[in-house]
Amino acid sequence: MFTVKPLPSVETTEEALVIGLFEGGKPFAGLAGEYDTRLGGQLSGLWKEGDISAKRGRIAVVHPFLPSGAKRLYFVGLGKKEELTFARLREAFGKLFGALKQAKRTEASIVLDAFTAGDVDENEAAHALAEAYYLATYEFSGYKQNKRERDYEMKSLTVYTAADAADIEANLFVGSVYGKATNSARTLVNTPGNLLTASDLADYAATLANRFDFDYEILEKEDMERLGMGALLAVNQGSKQPPKLIVLKYQGKEKWEGVIALVGKGVTFDTGGYCLKPRDSMLDMKTDMAGAAAVLGAMEAIGELRPEQNVLAVIPATDNMISGEAFKPDDVITSLSGKTIEVRNTDAEGRLILADAVTYAKQCGANCIIDVATLTGGVIVALGTDKTGAMTNNEALFEQLLEASAETGEFIWRLPITEHDRERVRSSKIADLNNSPGREGHAIMGGAFIGEFAEDTPWVHLDIAGTATAKKDGDLGPAGATGVMVRTLTAFVERFE
């Protein structure tokens, strides 16, 4: 879809030519200035009248009606040059693609150097452009009887640049991978629980493994019983659907060492178990596997980009249902690690399945672990819906992940785990651990519990309960699943030291 070409002349015929504008200085330079001259200063006139603006987020469309040249000029406001960042540029491109989609434009050309300033060069602009296209135009088709096929897709997007074409093409590819992998995760999260069981999730993972030549194994219920995965098995007790422990291995180094483990919570639907959720809280619990989706999306991107890293993905998958066999409050279960757990809340199930998954990741040689989970409503109370909560036992690992999140624009905020928090998790009088010590510091309690199984292995916990979905359409995608943390995990893996 993307074609890279040298900067054009004003005579080049285009369906839609896109140019970025910054506040301050001359509004029209380069190719835009040539158009202004050919139009007798009409663009400058529209600028003075405010019809064309460089304010961030503004899109203006002009029809030159010239015998040659572009049929439409799209001007994208970028704000002040000194305030341009990768994330802001990606949002601007997202808004552009929203406008092109609304106008049903399937061909466009972009003058890339008009979208650069400061630390954002043409290579970064190319990445932002490709990523924004896939994010902004994402659609979930749904299941209506007369559902439409995808109603918009750009057929041709020409990128004009004076930079090295091979470098631009490489960055367009990376941006495309980031966007497509995020969309894959979005689709998984948007899929209803009856159509995406643990078995379906395992089948999807196996398809990824075959596509990218990953080593993989799917642990069945009998395997878990043999190994002693009592925490994962307990959560699954009430279900007719068998549990799965999904394991993918990407080996980018000669030896299996320096292994990064990505662990994703895969609760395909959460009723809360016998600690039953109220009706309104149970709606959208199909999204409780967004951590698993983030890990699978990251593995898709890793499979495409082939970094020189060793990556292990571990996904415990089950639903949390009610039946005569379901686990109950006051039950005591024995985890894979051997640690016993008093169940005080069956709706604190995510940390239970992650406990066994983290232990298994360590047994598979993980040197560091990042777990991703829609773990607690408490993180939404603490941080809202635009910030992912994070906890860690290792400063250096967390700083590397923080840098990756800043690069991708997926904001994370660290919450503390103190010795007092650990004492609360260990407060059971009859078992090693208590899975729900109380509502106070709820998000921290969830993270501290998982940390008991990470032990001394460098570890970061990401609670995406607030960021996994969006209630409103945005410039970079519709309401619904966001695919959050796919890009951050990918960027982290690519740059891990």
| Separation of alpha carbons 396 and 460, rounded Å | 10
Residues 6+ apart with CB under 8 A from 158: 2, 3, 4, 5, 14, 108, 109, 110
Distance CA 47, CA 413 (A): 41
State the distance between the two ends of the chain, measured CA to CA, in whole angstroms: 34
Quickly list H helices, 409-463.
419-425, 442-454
**Catalytic residue status for 429:** no
Residue 123 and residue 169 in contact, taking contact as beta carbons nearer than 8 Å: no
CA distance linking residue 303 with residue 104, whole number of Å: 33
Active-site option among 81, 88, 277, 422 = 277
Q: How many CA atoms lie within 13 A of 293 on its CB side?
A: 29
User: What whole-number distance in Å separates Cα of residue 484 and Cα of residue 490?
Assistant: 11
Catalytic residue among 351, 362, 424, 487: 351
Q: Which of 219, 444, 231, 400 is nearest to 331 (CA)?
A: 231
Total residues found in the chain within this entry: 497
And the tokens for 124?
A: 């970064």
Cα–Cα distance for residue pair 215/208, rounded to 1 Å: 10
CA torsion 360-363-364-365 (nearest 10°) is 130
| 195/187 Cα distance (integer angstroms) | 12
Q: In Å, what is the CA distance from 105 to each residue of 73, 153, 461?
A: 12, 9, 42
Q: How far is CA 161 from the centre of its chain?
A: 29
277 assigned to active site: yes
Collapsing DSSP to helix, strand or coil, 371 comes out as strand
Q: What are phi and psi of 6, to 5 degrees?
A: -65, 165
Smallest CA-to-CA distance from 394 within 467, 322, 496, 316 is with: 496
- Cα gap 234→343, rounded to integer Å: 10
User: Strands, DSSP E only, in 125-243?
Assistant: 156-160, 215-219
Q: Residues with catalytic annotation?
A: 277, 351
